[in-house]
Structure 1
Amino acid sequence: MSRVFIVGLGLIGASLAKNIKMNQPKTIIIGLDSNSETTRYALKYHIIDEEAPSFEQGVHQADVIILGTHIQITLDYIKRLNALDLQTEKIVTDVSSVKKPIMDVAKELTNSSVKFIGGHPMAGSHKHGIEAAKSHLFENAYYILTPVTSGLDKQIQILKDLLKPTKSYFIELSEKEHDKMTGIVSHFPHLIASSLVHQARNWQDEYPFIPKLAAGGFRDITRIASSNPDLWEDILFQNKGEMVQFLSEWIDEMKNVRELLISNNHEDVHQYLDLAKTYRDGLPKKKKGALPNFYDIFVDLYDRPGELYKVMKKLAENEVNIININILEIRENMTGVLRVTLQTEEEQWTAMKVLENNGYEVSLEE
């Protein structure tokens, strides 16, 4: 019987706890969180089996330690491992979105009982906190491992066996490779999404109708701006070097686009848009990437009493779990007045077939 100590019971930590609990019920899960209400919630709903009295005691009791805290807090915990007199080997991993600062500190560990393996499950949600945790959050997602040193094959395999039921795809990268690539496809897009929201907000006084027009595609492409600001402040500053470089490149890119428009260069603008479309259309559709996936269907409805109820009833009868519904006033690029957001791709296709079989026109946004 193994014992796993999860420090930080937010979205990622609690989702890992739920997955381990569901698939490996004999494993004892010990939890610790700075928020006592979060810990009480975890115990009440059996997400964890025990609460650790302290970080040090939790480490002593466990075989595997998962640090699910913000990066700066994780760094402090790693440093505290050095002072512990450990009688047995401890496999320690984290879930941080930036790896260089984590691995720099981990490489300074002198406690021979601590075997550190950097980790980053590349799945998430625009929601946060233990209430948003899901056991299937990591399905088809990349789970990046960054061993602190060579010779940890045995420990890596133990960690993979523990996390195998997440149905993630494990890959090993150096911290430099990880931070560059996740910076490009995750951290930097978050900055851009937030900047787009600020631009809309800045024009709102002059054009008060902007929020209503933004309810369609604009809201979709800026969803990630609704993520936890505390978490993302930490991520952006920990990966500051990459962010500054990408911002400089982005500013140059936008200057070039501006010049194309000013000079009425239709051919080059068309080529710019076409190259972007081609690259985007070629991206994998089934695997989860660095940004959270959303599984939407769009349903064409008549504006008459009872229509929404009928749709919801059909989906409920087929045990389709709905995350959100939204009536679209702006729908230039899709068919359907009703957007239904589902948890998984499987539920997305189930909902589509159920409604089509009942005479509704349903579409997916590619």
Structure 2
Amino acid sequence: MVAYKKLHSMLTSIGANVLAIEPQKHDRAVAIISHLPHMLAAVLMNLASSETNHTENVLMLAAGGFKDTTRIAAGSPRMWIDICLDNRDAILYSIDKMGDMLSALRNEIDSADRDAIADMLERAQKGRLNLPAALGKEIGHLYEIYIPVSDKPGVISDITLAVGQLGVNIEDIEILHATEHSGTLRLMIPEKDNADKVAKALIERGYEVDLRTTGG
């Protein structure tokens, strides 16, 4: 306990957020949010690569969404072999749970159950949009600002600089690719007044803006 307190004090002194968690719970948590995503990215990449042998130019059609989803598949195989074996039980648990969910989704698609598919997608959307809040950070009500942008140097810095000049914090930022040459920048802004100020400033700079509430 003394060693833990010393380590905790050192880490918090440099601004780290320290979470104390039991080893088994830690292993299961990182299996779900880190290890399983890497395995899924690798499987998806291998699936697309194998289909290229049967369907010409499959990977030529891959755009931002596929590249974002499979980015982590480029990690070191040697390191991930060790991770898989060291955290084997928790990863197997996560794979089984994911398999159950995929099986349920397959049945819903096979039976054309629109309501069930919509429910699954909407729950996932809500969870993803509220991810910063799920991290335990007190940031108030979040608002999303979507800005269509072209793929050229300086666009993102221009937008973030405009927000910074207002003294508003960006809680989360994400690029949603539409094509290789354009996409949508998504900003997460806390509180309605801040979101309104940001939207107004960006419109004045010539950007199209779509302001939404996350419902968080």
Give the TM-score normalised by the residue count of structure 2: 0.64
Residues 1:300 and 1:229: Cα distance change in structure 2 (over 3 Å): same
Residue 53 of structure 1: aligned partner: none
Structure 2 residue identity aligned to 1:308 = K
Structure 2 residue identity aligned to 1:157 = K
- Report the secondary structure of 1:300's partner residue: strand
Q: Which has the higher contact order (CA 8 A, sep 6+)?
A: 2
Task: Please state which structure has a larger fraction of its residues in helix.
Answer: 2
- Of residues 266, 270, 289, the one that matches 2:118 is 270
Across the aligned residues of Structure 1 and Structure 2, the Cα RMSD in angstroms comes to: 4.2
Q: CA deviation digits over 1:7-26, x for unaligned, max 9?
A: xxxxxxxxxxxxxxxxxxxx
Residues 1:159 and 1:280: Cα distance change in structure 2 (over 3 Å): same
| Rounded Cα–Cα distance in structure 2 between residues aligned with 1:313 and 1:266 | 41
Aligned residues: 184
Residue 30 of structure 2: aligned partner: 182
Q: CA deviation digits over 1:147-178, x for unaligned, max 9?
A: xxxxx23x223223332354221121111111
Residue 51 of structure 2: aligned partner: 203
Indicate conservation of the 8 Å contact 1:300/1:362, yes or no: no
Residues 1:309 and 1:272: Cα distance change in structure 2 (over 3 Å): closer
Indicate conservation of the 8 Å contact 1:314/1:355, yes or no: no
Which structure has the greater CA radius of gyration? 1
Pairs within 5 Å for 1:82-101: none
Residue 152 of structure 2: aligned partner: 308
Indicate conservation of the 8 Å contact 1:183/1:243, yes or no: yes
Unaligned runs of 5+ in 2: 137-145, 165-174, 190-198
| Rounded Cα–Cα distance in structure 1 between residues aligned with 2:201 and 2:79 | 38
Pairs within 5 Å for 1:124-163: 152-153=1-2, 155-163=3-11
Indicate conservation of the 8 Å contact 2:149/2:155, yes or no: no
Residues 1:170 and 1:260: Cα distance change in structure 2 (over 3 Å): same
Asked if residue 214 in structure 1 is aligned to residue 59 in structure 2, the reply is: no
| Rounded Cα–Cα distance in structure 1 between residues aligned with 2:5 and 2:72 | 33
Per-residue deviation, 1:276: 2.6
Residues 1:162 and 1:354: Cα distance change in structure 2 (over 3 Å): farther
Per-residue deviation, 1:222: 2.3
Indicate conservation of the 8 Å contact 1:187/1:236, yes or no: yes
Residue 248 of structure 1: aligned partner: 96
Per-residue deviation, 1:179: 0.6
Residues 1:309 and 1:161: Cα distance change in structure 2 (over 3 Å): same
| Rounded Cα–Cα distance in structure 2 between residues aligned with 1:213 and 1:168 | 41
Indicate conservation of the 8 Å contact 1:314/1:354, yes or no: no
Residue 179 of structure 2: aligned partner: 330
Q: CA deviation digits over 1:48-102, x for unaligned, max 9?
A: xxxxxxxxxxxxxxxxxxxxxxxxxxxxxxxxxxxxxxxxxxxxxxxxxxxxxxx
